[in-house]
Amino acid sequence: QSVLTQPPSVSAAPGQKVTISCSGSSSDIGNNYVSWYQHLPGTAPKLLIYDNNKRPSGIPDRFSGSKSGTSATLGITGLQTGDEADYYCGIWDSDLRGVFGGGTKLTVL
Amino acid sequence: EVQLVQSGAEVKKSGESLKISCKGSGYTFTSYWIGWVRQMPGKGLEWMGIIFPSDSDTTYSPSFQGQVTISADRSISTAYLQWSSLKASDTAIYSCARLYCTRTSCYFDYWGQGTLVTVSS
């Protein structure tokens, strides 16, 4: 059981918007930056968002991140069937100890 | 181009030892932490630990401390994850990833392709 709580699954239709939450506490999300990863089965996870809301080069602006207090949110707009994947939030504390959320399976209906 | 290339799939029996590898290229291997992540069948990602190849400084998740050993050989830009006595519950995909750290944050920016480890009892 991860200390970062994500909904097990979310779904939406193509073209719609979806948000995925990541809930923690003052000792994890509250005091550290959040990153988000997309994981398609059989492939390497991909960094989508770092430092709460920054996108690496090559990640489309359909993906966005935000953080408020002890929770973070990943938003995906203009959903595509290729976005079907598992999504994970993650944090690293000042001792470089990391933790991932439990993961959320996105289904594009 | 940054690449992390992992060793191939392994099939082992309970009680056997194993060492899998992760070779970095396209960047200065000794300047970044390398981490290991487990994904058990049907489960999520679990952070196992990290190593700084320059001096082999290592930090483990409490869940994996004493269960695995993370090491590195900086002369060949390779990190390792090893078990002295495998259990069936070690069956999983193990991925390495580069940990990019600034003064205020860290995140895994590049990932290996994963190594499937299957342990039969």
With cut-offs at 50, 70 and 90, classify the pLDDT of residue A42: confident
User: What is the mean pLDDT of the segment spanning A93-105?
Assistant: 93
**Cβ–Cβ contact B46 with A under 8 A:** yes
pLDDT over 80 at A28, yes or no:
yes
Smallest CA–CA distance, residue A92 to chain B, in Å, is 6
Residue to test with chain A: of B45, B96, B98, most A Cβ within 10 A: B45
Smallest CA–CA distance, residue A97 to chain B, in Å, is 7
Percent of chain A having pLDDT more than 90? 89
pLDDT in tens, B65-92: 999 999 999 999 999 999 999 999 999 9
User: What is the mean pLDDT of the segment spanning A85-89?
Assistant: 97
Please spell the DSSP secondary structure of chain B, one letter per residue: --EEEEPPPEEEETT--EEEEEEEESS-GGGSEEEEEEE-TT--EEEEEEEETTTTEEEE-TTTBTTBEEEEEGGGTEEEEEESS--GGG-EEEEEEEEEE-SS-EEEEEE---EEEEEE-
pLDDT at A41: 83
Between chains, do B113 and A92 touch, taking CB under 8 Å as contact?
A: no
pLDDT at A1: 62
pLDDT at A11: 96
**Cβ–Cβ contact B40 with A under 8 A:** no
Between chains, do B44 and A92 touch, taking CB under 8 Å as contact?
A: no
Percent of chain A having pLDDT more than 70? 98
What residues of chain B, 85 to 114, have a C-beta less than 8 Å from chain A? 95, 97, 99-101, 104-114
pLDDT at B121: 87
pLDDT in tens, B18-34: 999 999 999 999 999 99
Which of B35, B80, B28 has its CA nearest to residue B54? B28
**Cβ–Cβ contact B44 with A under 8 A:** yes
User: What is the mean pLDDT of the segment spanning B95-107?
Assistant: 94
Between chains, do A96 and B106 touch, taking CB under 8 Å as contact?
A: yes
Nearest residue of B to residue A43 by CA position? B113
pLDDT in tens, B40-54: 999 999 999 999 999
Least CB–CB distance from B113: residue in A37, A44, A97: A44
Residue with the bigger pLDDT between A42 and B60: it is B60
pLDDT over 80 at B112, yes or no:
yes
